[in-house]
Structure 1
Amino acid sequence: MKFANLQMSVSCLATLALGNINPRFTTCRSGLRASSQQYLSLKDATIDELGAGLDSGQFTSVDLVKAYLDRIGEVNDVLHAVTETNPDALALATELDAERSAGFTRGPLHGIPILIKNNIATDDKLNTTAGSYSLLGARVPRDSAIANKLRSAGAIILGKANLSQWANFRSNNSTNGWSALGGQVYGPYYPNQDPSGSSSGSAVSSTLGLASGTLGSETDGSIISPSSKNNNVGIKPTVGLTSRNLVIPISEHQDTVGPIARTVKDAAIILQAIAGVDPYDNYTSAIPDNGTIPDYVAACQLSALSGARIGVARNAIELLSSSISSAQVTAFEEAISVLEAAGATIVDNTNFTAAAEFLNSTVEMQVLQADFLVNLASYLELLTENPNNVTSLAGVRDFTQSFPAEEYPARDTAVWDDTIFKQGWNNTDPRFWPAYQQNLYYGGEGGLLGAIERNNLDAVILPSDQSPTFAAGVGAPIVTVPLGFSPANMTVVKNSWGLVTDGPNIPFGLSFMGAKFTEAKLIGFAYAFEQRTNIRDQQQPYIVPSTELIDVVGQ
Structure 2
Amino acid sequence: MMSAHEVSDSVMFPDLYEAGIAELQRGLDKGQFTSVDLVKAYSARIEQVNLKGAALHAVIEINPQALTQAVVLDAERKAKGSRGPLHGIPLLLKDNIATLHKEGLNTTAGSYALLGSEVAGDAPVAAKLREAGAIFLGKTNMSEWANFRGKVPNGFSGRGGQTLSPYYPNGDASGSSSGSGVAMAIGLAAASLGSETDGSIVSPSSKNNIVGIKPTIGLVSRTRVIPISSTQDTVGPMCRSVADAALLLRFIAGKDDDDVVTREQPEVPDYTKALDKNALKGKRLGVPRRLIRDGNPVQGEFDKALDVLRSLGADIVDPAEFPSTEELKVSRHESLVLTVEFKVGVNKHIEGLRKRPQNINNLADIIRFNNEHKDKELPEPYWTDQSQFYTSEASKEDEKYYEAVKKGYQLGRTDGIDATLKKFALDAIVLPSNDSTSYYFFRGG
Query: For the superposition of Structure 1 and Structure 2, which TM-score range results when normalised by the shorter chain?
Result: over 0.9
CA deviation profile, 1:287-311 (whole Å, cap 9, x unmatched) = 12xxx11110111110111111100
2:375 aligned with 1:407: no
Separation (CA, whole Å) in 2 of partners of 1:45 and 1:92: 21
Shift of 1:146: 1.1
1:68/1:210 contact within 8 Å kept? yes
Separation (CA, whole Å) in 1 of partners of 2:74 and 2:133: 10
1:200/1:226 contact within 8 Å kept? yes
Which among 323, 332, 345 is matched to residue 362 of structure 1? 332
Separation (CA, whole Å) in 1 of partners of 2:384 and 2:443: 30
Pair 1:238–1:29, CA change in 2 (3 A): closer
Pair 1:120–1:191, CA change in 2 (3 A): same
Separation (CA, whole Å) in 2 of partners of 1:363 and 1:127: 34
Counterpart amino acid of residue 386 in structure 1: R
Which among 47, 56, 61 is matched to residue 79 of structure 1? 56
Shift of 1:29: 6.2
Map of 2:163 onto structure 1: 185
2:422 aligned with 1:440: no
Separation (CA, whole Å) in 2 of partners of 1:450 and 1:195: 34
Map of 1:104 onto structure 2: 81
Shift of 1:254: 0.2
Map of 2:396 onto structure 1: 425
Separation (CA, whole Å) in 2 of partners of 1:394 and 1:159: 29
2:315 aligned with 1:345: yes
2:192 aligned with 1:225: no
Counterpart amino acid of residue 161 in structure 1: T
Map of 2:220 onto structure 1: 242
**Counterparts in 2 of 1:227-306, with a 5 A limit?**
227-288=205-266, 292-306=267-281
Separation (CA, whole Å) in 2 of partners of 1:329 and 1:255: 28
Shift of 1:408: 5.8
Name stretches of at least 5 consecutive residues in structure 2 with no aligned partner: none
CA deviation profile, 1:91-127 (whole Å, cap 9, x unmatched) = 1011111111013222111000000000001113100
Shift of 1:411: 2.2
Which among 308, 332, 336 is matched to residue 302 of structure 2? 332
Counterpart amino acid of residue 119 in structure 2: V
Counterpart amino acid of residue 42 in structure 1: L
2:293 aligned with 1:315: no
Pair 1:72–1:38, CA change in 2 (3 A): closer
2:46 aligned with 1:68: no
**Counterparts in 2 of 1:483-498, with a 5 A limit?**
none
Which among 465, 474, 489 is matched to residue 434 of structure 2? 465
Map of 2:424 onto structure 1: 455
Separation (CA, whole Å) in 1 of partners of 2:61 and 2:389: 27
CA deviation profile, 1:1-35 (whole Å, cap 9, x unmatched) = 9xxxxxxxxxxxxxxxxxxxxx9x53x869x92x6
Shift of 1:365: 0.9
Shift of 1:446: 2.7
2:352 aligned with 1:382: yes
Separation (CA, whole Å) in 2 of partners of 1:187 and 1:453: 40
Separation (CA, whole Å) in 2 of partners of 1:453 and 1:118: 39
Map of 2:177 onto structure 1: 199
Separation (CA, whole Å) in 2 of partners of 1:389 and 1:306: 59
Shift of 1:139: 0.3
CA deviation profile, 1:303-351 (whole Å, cap 9, x unmatched) = 111111100001101xx224x21xx111111111111111111111111
Structure ranking higher on relative contact order (CA contacts 8 Å, 6+ apart): 1
1:401/1:408 contact within 8 Å kept? no
TM superposition score normalised by structure 1: 0.76
Shift of 1:247: 0.4
Separation (CA, whole Å) in 2 of partners of 1:337 and 1:176: 33
2:147/2:154 contact within 8 Å kept? yes
- Determine which structure has more spread, i.e. the larger CA radius of gyration: 1
Separation (CA, whole Å) in 2 of partners of 1:390 and 1:315: 46
1:134/1:388 contact within 8 Å kept? no
Separation (CA, whole Å) in 2 of partners of 1:164 and 1:451: 33
Separation (CA, whole Å) in 2 of partners of 1:142 and 1:134: 19
Separation (CA, whole Å) in 2 of partners of 1:359 and 1:170: 24
Separation (CA, whole Å) in 1 of partners of 2:290 and 2:56: 37
1:135/1:388 contact within 8 Å kept? no
Separation (CA, whole Å) in 2 of partners of 1:117 and 1:351: 35
Counterpart amino acid of residue 166 in structure 1: W
Shift of 1:167: 0.2
Pair 1:334–1:381, CA change in 2 (3 A): same
Shift of 1:38: 5.7
Secondary structure of the 2:430 match is strand
1:445/1:451 contact within 8 Å kept? no
- Aligned residue-pair number: 437
Pair 1:102–1:438, CA change in 2 (3 A): same
Map of 1:151 onto structure 2: 130
RMSD, aligned CA: 1.7
Separation (CA, whole Å) in 2 of partners of 1:71 and 1:306: 41
2:29 aligned with 1:51: no
Separation (CA, whole Å) in 2 of partners of 1:229 and 1:120: 22
Separation (CA, whole Å) in 2 of partners of 1:144 and 1:369: 24
Pair 1:133–1:264, CA change in 2 (3 A): same
Counterpart amino acid of residue 35 in structure 2: S
Secondary structure of the 1:441 match is helix
Pair 1:358–1:471, CA change in 2 (3 A): closer
Which among 176, 193, 210 is matched to residue 215 of structure 1? 193
2:77 aligned with 1:92: no
Shift of 1:472: 2.1
1:358/1:442 contact within 8 Å kept? yes
CA deviation profile, 1:495-546 (whole Å, cap 9, x unmatched) = xxxxxxxxxxxxxxxxxxxxx4xxxxxxxxxxxxxxxxxxxxxxxxxxxxxx
2:96/2:108 contact within 8 Å kept? yes
Pair 1:51–1:471, CA change in 2 (3 A): farther
Counterpart amino acid of residue 277 in structure 1: K
1:116/1:159 contact within 8 Å kept? yes
**Counterparts in 2 of 1:528-543, with a 5 A limit?**
none
2:6/2:13 contact within 8 Å kept? no
Name stretches of at least 5 consecutive residues in structure 1 with no aligned partner: 2-22, 476-515, 517-555
Separation (CA, whole Å) in 2 of partners of 1:418 and 1:354: 28
Map of 1:393 onto structure 2: 363
Counterpart amino acid of residue 420 in structure 1: E
Secondary structure of the 2:222 match is coil
1:448/1:470 contact within 8 Å kept? no
2:6/2:12 contact within 8 Å kept? no
